[in-house]
Amino acid sequence: MSSVYFLLTLYSLSKAKKRYTERDRLAEAEAYDKYLTIFSGGYKILHSEFGDDRFISRGCLSPKEDLFVTAGWSNICKIWKVPDCVLHTELKGHEDKVLSVTFHPISELGLSPNGPNIATASADFSIRLWSLNEELESQQWKLLGKHEERVNCVAFHPLGNHLASSSNDKTWRFWDIEKTKELLLQEGHEAYVHPLSFQCDGSLIATGDLNGIGKVWDLRTGKSILNLLGHVKRIISLSFLPNGYQVATGSDDNTIRVWDLRRKSTIYNIPAHRRTVSDIRFEPLEGKFMVSAAYDGVCKIWNTRDWQVAAKFSIESTKLTSASPNKDASMIITTSSDKMFKVWELNKEIAEAKND
């Protein structure tokens, strides 16, 4: 285990050095404002498709942005070609609802199709890994491991060799993918653990539970270094900002809180939605925008400089369960409780006309 911590330390230090070197290249205020005008035209639906026979739990866009995977209560995950929403293949193997799905950070970008390109978590207590090799039965790679209760969330470490999982057994666990070995079992939460997110440098992980308490952990020591206290209801969504020192959490109390790890406190408490905030995603390079989805059926794109809404769209009478933007948010794919996923695209013509 010490060799793993050493590897993680070297990786996180090199990533942190690169991040601090590049942060001086962030856009100036004028350029940033000009960038945000791309959202002024709003969004329109490009495609809409039934993604499952039952409730769709989550969705995830591949790193190459040409595949989209849905996780559903039918126990099946489906991979779709986007943006035209053509069914590519199905992942069958779980024995209960699939609650979380994610692509490997370099899937399609260097990782072999025979490798662990996709990870899923299920109410059958298991975590499974899947290839992109269609010749393998249901593209199964291997069973990574199990919790003692349903598994709520999985996330790949940025290095790609490890994975974290959270569960109703009130633990989160850290796994070696190749060896299919549990490296760390952490029992610091007193309620079901749901969302989790790795810091971009890979040295920290943040988790949230159904008591409304978030925690930040140092992966190099396995210890909790900060409690995120402030939400009055469950934490359902959570994501690190690309700057590495801020975390955003979404809750049943309808708010998004932005936490600064240096100040050890909330720096923004945003009345974001009218119902549960189910998903939070950031522009991956500089965190120029945040996308949030909620059970009020609304998806919002936020300016992260002043946390104002830059654009939004909604679907009546449904719960949005996830929102997956591409790198510049010109396309956003939403999943919802009505069994559907929708591909939205920017109205660039309207935005250009407004800015002429």
Q: Taking the mean position of all CA atoms in its chain, how far away is CA 251?
A: 15
Q: Do the beta carbons of residue 79 and residue 86 sit within 8 Å?
A: no
Contact 302/266 with Cβ under 8 angstroms? no
Q: What is the pLDDT of residue 25?
A: 46
Q: What percent of the chain has pLDDT over 70?
A: 88
Sign, Cα dihedral of 300, 156, 146, 143? positive
pLDDT for 136? 81
Classify burial at 251, counting beta carbons within 10 Å of its beta carbon; exposed 0-12, middle 13-18, buried 19 or more. buried
Domain ranges of the chain: 2-355
Residue 259 contacts residue 250 (beta carbons within 8 Å)? no
CA 2 from centroid of its chain's CA atoms: 28
DSSP state letter for 165: E
Residue 135, pLDDT score:
82
The position carrying tokens 């591909």 is 343
Task: Round to the nearest angstrom and report the end-to-end CA distance of the chain.
Answer: 59
CA distances to 49, 294, 318, 321 from 298, in Å: 18, 6, 9, 10
pLDDT of residue 229: 97
316-344 pLDDT tens trace: 889 999 999 999 999 999 999 999 999 99
Residue written as token pair 């126990």:
75
* Per-residue confidence (pLDDT) for residue 317, from 0 to 100: 84
The per-residue pLDDT for 194 is 98
- Name the CATH superfamily housing domain 2-355: YVTN repeat-like/Quinoprotein amine dehydrogenase (2.130.10.10)
Closest CA to 144 of 171, 108, 119: 119
pLDDT (0 to 100) of residue 352: 60
> What is the sign of the dihedral through the CA atoms of 143, 145, 149 and 151?
negative
Distance from C-alpha of 40 to C-alpha of 348, rounded to nearest angstrom: 8
- Give the integer Cα–Cα distance in Å for 61 and 48: 15
pLDDT averaged per 10 residues in sequence order, the chain, 356 residues: 58 54 50 74 94 96 98 96 94 96 96 96 98 85 96 97 98 96 96 98 96 96 95 98 97 98 96 98 93 98 94 93 96 97 88 58
Percent helix, strand, coil in the chain (nearest 5)?
15, 45, 40
- Look up tokens 């406190």; give the residue: 265
pTM (2 d.p.)? 0.91
| Residue 17 neighbours by CB under 8 Å, 6+ apart | none
- Determine contact, residues 117/104, Cβ cutoff 8 Å: yes
Q: How far apart are CA 106 and CA 111, in angstroms?
A: 6
